[in-house]
Structure 1
């Protein structure tokens, strides 16, 4: 099976990366951390760009693309830590009025957690008894619900969340390599030390393995492959963020560095839609 991107897919990925670089750069990321709120103007811009309506049929006003293209788009969102209930709103396009256009923010109760409940216009699932919980990620406010519900789109949601994790894993790999090329210790750049080389190489392997699994699952749509892809992507995002912290040394643990934001978001994403315990059960049952 040929997993090389088509020219249209490469153009889509490039366009989304350029849009996010223009509208959600590091300054905007830090502003979002400070404010703790959702940028409704950016949300509408994403809607106008087709982010939420990407898989909606053209006759229904959507872009008419498939799950492989959606995976590419969500990977780019993960790279920049774009906040908000992106997956739930994307899945609600064509079902909830205004979701496709970015006029409505939609969240969902799944797995016992509800992200961005206070900012959402619509909640899919039962969140009547939701109570706020302290989130480790400053960009993902959370509520917990007593009843664990599952939506029909859980597997697709898990795959798109895995794509975000892959994007984050790729971004922390790039950050570690860039820092290793610039930071000097004992008269040479730290990238010249074998231990640092091994860390960076391991990060790249994790990222590419998870990316291959996510892309493959997007093509096949197989539930077992999606569960395996989520496991690999969660491991890549959290593992790479930890190793990126190690490469950065003491400065990596400071609030000013962005590495901790990737680690915290990876922890939260790992608990959404298809947490490790459930994903492992899916894979184990198949085996």
Structure 2
């Protein structure tokens, strides 16, 4: 099976990257951090809608681009690179089902593992007919999020099992798109570590000349490429087992990659002024979005056991 990107896919990735880096660059990122997860940029949300970010997989007859899951994965990978805030996955999956979601006029969030992101800034909670003013929002408990770009609320168990609450297992497509964001996160921290290793000098030479730093950067690259292969393959097959594997590899690449990037940056990597900690914190929060890691591990274990039986 050939997983190389087509010319159209490369053009899509280039276009999304140009849009996001131009519209949500370092200054916009820091401005969002200063807001502390309050005041989602609705103008940017509508721009994403106009660009087709949310309607990417909708049929052309319904106003979408008529593309597939592999193209959506490429778009979400780029969103992960720039730490684009907001409930992107939920709004994308709600396009065509919730009025205004495809155009970016409606911000949709969802409950994942008892947590909901951007509840106060969303117009609709996926699976809850009452929306933010309904049962879920009324009973939600605000949390202090480790990620300043991802405000969180915890949903009590009685609301999760009630007739109006979001129920059922985590949507595999949501898990895959989150894995794509994690892949973008991991790729960006790998690039940042390599760039710093090339330019930061110590003892009269770039720190990248030291073996310990080389090993850190090499390990980051290996994890990124393993995750990329898994995420792209899962986008083609859409198989739950492939998605579980992609999720585990992407989470590992994002979290460990951000930690290693911080290590390469040394003392300055721990400072608030550095963006490295933002990538690590977002990776931590995203890793919880797909439910406990053990759920994905169980999917893989069940598949291996079934395969042994054959």
* Class of the TM-score when normalised by the shorter of the 2 chains: over 0.9
- Greater C-alpha Rg: 2
Q: How far apart are the structure 2 equivalents of 1:181 and 1:109?
A: 42
**How much does 1:152 deviate?**
7.2
Which of 250, 262, 270 is the aligned partner of 2:267?
Answer: 250
- For 1:76, the equivalent position in structure 2 comes to 78
- Structure 1 runs of 4+ aligned residues shifted over 4 Å read 148-153
**How much does 1:110 deviate?**
2.2
TM-score of the pair, normalised by structure 1: 0.98
Residue pair 2:251, 2:283 contacting (<8 A) in 1 also: yes
Matched, 1:131 2:163: no
- For 1:107, the equivalent position in structure 2 comes to 109
TM-score of the pair, normalised by structure 2: 0.91
Alignment of structure 1 residues 40-189 onto 2, 5 Å: 40-126=42-128, 127-128=136-137, 129-147=139-157, 148=160, 149-150=166-167, 154-189=171-206
Residue pair 1:172, 1:262 contacting (<8 A) in 2 also: yes
Q: How far apart are the structure 2 equivalents of 1:150 and 1:283?
A: 23
SS at match of 2:208: helix
SS at match of 2:290: coil
**How much does 1:150 deviate?**
4.3
Q: How far apart are the structure 2 equivalents of 1:133 and 1:91?
A: 25
Residue pair 1:107, 1:116 contacting (<8 A) in 2 also: yes
Identify which range, 142-151 or 12-21, moves more after superposition.
142-151
SS at match of 2:116: strand
| Deviations, residues 24-60 of structure 1 (Å, cap 9, x unaligned) | 0000000000013310000000000000000011111
**How much does 1:284 deviate?**
1.2
Matched, 1:223 2:240: yes
Q: How far apart are the structure 1 equivalents of 2:227 and 2:236?
A: 14
Gaps of 5+ in 1: none
Gaps of 5+ in 2: 129-135, 161-165, 305-310
Q: How far apart are the structure 1 equivalents of 2:290 and 2:249?
A: 15
SS at match of 1:263: helix
Computed over aligned residues only, the root mean square deviation of the Cα atoms, in angstroms, reads 1.1
**How much does 1:275 deviate?**
3.1
SS at match of 1:117: coil
Which of 293, 297, 301 is the aligned partner of 1:276?
Answer: 293
Distance 1:6 1:252, change over 3 A: same
| Deviations, residues 80-138 of structure 1 (Å, cap 9, x unaligned) | 00000000000000000000000000001121110000000000135252211111000
Q: How far apart are the structure 1 equivalents of 2:238 and 2:273?
A: 40
Residue pair 1:110, 1:151 contacting (<8 A) in 2 also: no
| Deviations, residues 116-174 of structure 1 (Å, cap 9, x unaligned) | 00000000135252211111000000011123554577100000000000000000000
